[in-house]
Amino acid sequence: MSLTVAASTQPLAAETVFDLLQKVREKAPRVHAITNSVAQHFTANALLAIGAIPSMTIAPEEVAGFASGADALLINLGTLDETRRQAIPVAIEAAKSAGRPVSLDPVFVERSPVRCAYARDLLGLKPDLVRLNEPEQAALFADRAAVERLIGDGTVLTVTGEEDRVESTQEDFRLRNGHPLMARVTATGCAGGAVLAAFASIETDTALAAAAGLSVFNIAGEMAASEARGPGTLVPELLDALYTMTSRDIEVRLKSA
């Protein structure tokens, strides 16, 4: 019998989240991010703020070397031009061959049948982690059975929304951190996806890594919103919160079902 999703939701401990954040800070993993042109700058700074190292090339002739030598690979389809379309499968193959975790963020697949078809092809390459929202999930999968087949094959699914869900064959998590102001700044979701990839590089339990990374980023968003005057001041506050986050910040704010 093939595995489907886990039978029960697991609590996420604040101590575990901080321990994984400390591992990222100590190990400084490099995340190669083939992300959209709008998100590159913010994504790179978010990775640097948590202690990771970004690399960003999308040139097909050199992306294999960058992806295989990185500690994790992020694929974000936000601006799917021809160069990225050619580079992405090469990067995934190189990362998988090197044993690196691959995270896929199929941005806006519900708005483009061509992009949706391309994303389905990428799912066939068995990414370790897929991060998406409800409309994107509805566009990619015909029904719940299709979702469970993907999870049963070993991919961890993270569905973001008012309540974030992390689903896998071993454990599920339900998370409720974040702030509405984060949606007023472009590329926050894309940068958050890169943080998940960084956590996946230092923790073999990909579901736990995704839950911890998502919690860190969304708690940072809450901390930033409490200091910001609006979207323009949210970004620097968010980067500072990622950089300065303590175990106490996580303990006080973490919301896990």
Asked whether residue 2 carries a pLDDT value surpassing 80, the answer given is no
Q: For the whole model, what pTM was predicted?
A: 0.94
Binning pLDDT at 50, 70 and 90, where does residue 7 land? very low
Helix, strand, coil fractions of the chain, as percent rounded to 5: 55, 15, 30
The architecture that CATH gives domain 14-253 is: 3-Layer(aba) Sandwich (3.40)
Asked whether residue 195 carries a pLDDT value surpassing 90, the answer given is yes
- Where are the domains positioned within the chain? 14-253
| C-beta of residue 210 within 8 angstroms of C-beta of residue 158 | yes
**What's the pLDDT score for residue 9?**
66
Q: Which amino acid is at 198?
A: A
Task: Give me the mean pLDDT over the 187-192 stretch.
Answer: 95
Per-residue exposure over 1-36, b if at least 16 CB sit within 10 Å of its own CB, e if not: eeeebbeeebebebebbbebbebbeeeebbbbbbbb
Indicate left, alpha or beta for 239 from its phi (over 0: left) and psi (-120 to 50: alpha). Answer: alpha
Report pLDDT digits (tens) over 23-55: 999 999 999 999 999 999 999 999 999 999 999
Asked whether residue 11 carries a pLDDT value surpassing 90, the answer given is no
Asked whether residue 15 carries a pLDDT value surpassing 90, the answer given is yes
